[in-house]
Amino acid sequence: MTEPYRLMGQNGSPYSMKMRAILRYRRIPHVWDQQMPMRAPETEHVRPKVMPMMRFPSDGEWRVDSTPMAMELEEAESGRSILPEDPVHRFLSHLIEDMADEWLTKAMFHYRWYYERSRNFASYWIASDNTPSGEGAMGKREKFAKDICARQVGRMALVGCTEENKPVIEASFQSILHALESRVGYRSFLFGTRPSLGDFGLFGQLKTLADDPDPRDVIAREAPTAFHWIRHMDDLSGLEGNWLKPDCPLPGAVTQLLRVCGEAYLPFLHANRDALENGAEEVRLQIYGRTYAQAPFRYQAKCLGRLESLYAGLGESTRTRLDPLLEKTGCLNWLKAA
């Protein structure tokens, strides 16, 4: 029997949930390992120290970073691909997934560590997942929860989750929810009746948001259908479906999500790269008519470069179909800027 993939992560980690859902949907044999201190020696050499980590049976090596792992799986495993067949839809799926991974994640971090109820819930959840039961476990969990809360709250400004940025982050979260509510369901996804990479990127962040108390209430109130779609996305191994035909109109949800990319995410990526190139200590720009500011990140400059490369690699006929939609949603100039 072929050795299965081994995914090591945590239930409160959005990228862990994203990768586990991809493996489940694609019916790729795998073992899910809850990351615990006792397993730390096995992955001590893996860099960077992020979740999840996945061991590939082809070479026995651990990988990190969910998007490259998902793309490597596309090369290594046939069947039930999460990349739409149509090149226009495929590019849009990549763009939406990247927005979810790097922008929607700010809403996940903001709601989890800004609001007291969610802060307390998440702290003890993480502590429980990292502290084995036994004598003295309760005291250890309480200390772990207190320490992790202090650490994460202390990192909020670093990732842009500040009081100043709160209106922008919450407004974009609402826009994403309203977009999804107009489309998704048990057999309704962004690009057909089967899930794409973009769907899984959104799911990873939304799974965590739908578990934490404060954002869970927002989702249940603002997007009740999407709330249950998130539950379905966790395991779609039994689902069969088809991609949208190239000549079919795209769902309005895709257009609305692209507007979030054009109005918030792509301008942020460009401002971030400009700050890095100019040696600035702060990214500062206007989003939704409000000031958004945070420290620059090199990884997000790589994200922009990847999106620009994907766009530049499209054929002329694909761009002829794609560009009007990108222009209408404010994305085109940002992707052609390089």
CB 200 within 8 A of CB 98: no
Q: What is the DSSP letter of 102?
A: I
From 64, 319, 92, 310, select the one nearest 196 (Cα to Cα). 92
Q: Take residue 86 and report the two structure tokens written for it.
A: 């149509």
Torsion angles phi and psi, residue 138, rounded to 5: -60, -45
pLDDT value for 335: 96
Report whether pLDDT(337) > 80.
no
Name the E strands within 195-282: none
pLDDT value for 1: 53
Mean pLDDT across the stretch 231-243? 97
Query: For the chain, what percent of residues have pLDDT higher than 70?
Result: 99
N- to C-terminal Cα separation, the chain: 48
pLDDT value for 338: 54
- Per-residue pLDDT of 241-251, as tens digits, reads 999 999 999 99
Q: Which of 32-41, 157-166, 255-264 has the lowest mean pLDDT?
A: 32-41
Report whether pLDDT(186) > 90.
no
From 186, 259, 183, 275, select the one nearest 223 (Cα to Cα). 183
- Per-residue pLDDT of 194-226, as tens digits, reads 999 999 999 999 999 999 999 999 999 999 999
* DSSP secondary structure letters along 75-133: HH--SS-SS-SSHHHHHHHHHHHHHIIIIIHHHHHHHHHHSHHHHHHHHHHHHHHHS-S
Report whether pLDDT(173) > 90.
yes
pTM to 2 decimal places: 0.96
pLDDT value for 37: 76
Q: 3-class DSSP state for residue 24?
A: helix
Torsion angles phi and psi, residue 287, rounded to 5: -130, 130
pLDDT value for 36: 80
Report whether pLDDT(277) > 90.
yes
Mean pLDDT across the stretch 279-305? 97
Mean pLDDT across the stretch 305-315? 97
List, in order of start, the domains of the chain with CATH numbers.
5-75 (3.40.30.10), 87-110+161-233+248-336 (no CATH)
CA distance 245 to 66: 28
- Per-residue pLDDT of 81-121, as tens digits, reads 999 999 999 999 999 999 999 999 999 999 999 999 999 99
- Per-residue pLDDT of 53-77, as tens digits, reads 999 999 999 999 999 999 999 999 9
Q: Compute CA 186 distance to the chain's CA centroid, rounded to the nearest angstrom.
A: 20
CB 290 within 8 A of CB 168: yes
pLDDT value for 143: 95
pLDDT value for 235: 98
Query: For the chain, what percent of residues have pLDDT higher than 90?
Result: 89
Report whether pLDDT(191) > 60.
yes
